[in-house]
Chains A and B, each alone.
Chain A
Amino acid sequence: MTDKQPSAPMNFQLPDGTQFDPVAGARMMNSHGHTGFLGIEYVGHGEDWFELALPWREDLVGIEETGVLASGPIISLLDNATSMSVWAKKRMFVPQVTLDLRIDYVRAAVPGKTVIARAECYQIRSSMAFVRGIAHDGDITDPVAHAAGIFMLVGDGEWSAK
């Protein structure tokens, strides 16, 4: 199943020809760019799911008076968690781009609390991966947000640029 492994992008320094290590991969992702800036952390993963956390931070607030997190960082968190759930299910890194992502904000996240996203890749087709996810701040049965999205699996050349 992993015989046609795409070469890993240099920028993330994933060792070529090795299987995707979700923990190392997450650590790598989480130390770069936007994800690194937001301070997103690895929580856990399984066969077809991935869990990431976004600790509350003052400079990520959306409503200054209340300290409620902005929804932008929650989009990023769910985008990352759903994206990594595809890699978990594939058991390898696959270059992909977000086609669409829908998020329902069920309620405001409690100020000061870490937001956790649990995402699942529920189906993979030849060129698309279907994902869903829930963001919560401690109790998954009382979600902050719910997400559904689709990733397009693309060639290496389409994925990264200088």
Chain B
Amino acid sequence: MVGQVNAPASPALILPPYARSMGMELDRIEDGIPVLAMEYSRIAQGRPGYLHGGAIGGLLEIAGFAALRAELAQRGTMMRIKPVNISIEYLRGGVKLRTFAMGRVLRAGRRVANVRVDAWQADRDKPVASCWMNFLLSPEKAD
């Protein structure tokens, strides 16, 4: 059970303890990219009746990581990835529904990867939040 979600042992699908605690899970794979999902629960609530911005941010980040790992795995390159920064736009209040998030790798070079992630609930055309993330890449065995 060590970080593996569902059957395929793809590096993109290993979720860390934080993600598992929050009930984040792989919903499906879309065009080779994992779509993450998180059920609304008390532990994700911020202001009354809405998701906490940090819980949404956390889901965005996990989806961003997963998208980047999937992209690197498809290329057959294993890299260590480290988040450098994130900038989140909160577009709508996250209501008491299942929340989805999926990333898109704009560019993954030798040292830096730039990723966009969107989160939505019932209607994919009405995102609740969106972010960019930058990652530092280094060879797997470095340090």
Q: Which residues of A contact B (CB under 8 A)?
A: 9-12, 32-38, 58-64, 69-73, 75-77, 79-80, 95, 97-105, 108, 159-162
A103, B90: Cβ atoms closer than 8 Å: no
Flag if A102 contacts B57 (CB, 8 Å).
no
In the complex, which residues of chain B have a beta carbon less than 8 angstroms from the beta carbon of A63? Answer: 16
Q: Is the CB of A161 within 8 A of B49?
A: yes
Q: Please report the total number of B residues contacting A with Cβ < 8 Å.
A: 39
In-complex Cβ contact of B53 among A64, A69, A98, A108 (8 A): A98
Binding site for A on B (CB under 8 A): 2-3, 16-22, 42-55, 57-59, 61-62, 82-90, 93, 95
Contact status of A72 and B57, CB under 8 A, knowing A34-B43, A161-B49: yes
- From B47, B51, B88, B89, give the contact of A160 (CB < 8 A): B47
Instruction: Tell whether, in the assembled complex, residue B90 and residue A34 are in contact, meaning their CB atoms are under 8 Å apart.
Output: no
Distance in angstroms between the alpha carbons of A71 and B59 in the assembled complex: 10
24 inter-chain pairs at a CB distance below 8 angstroms, sorted by A residue, are A9-B48, A33-B43, A34-B43, A34-B55, A35-B46, A60-B17, A61-B17, A70-B16, A70-B19, A70-B61, A71-B58, A72-B57, A75-B58, A75-B88, A76-B54, A98-B90, A99-B89, A100-B88, A102-B88, A103-B87, A105-B83, A105-B84, A161-B93, A162-B48
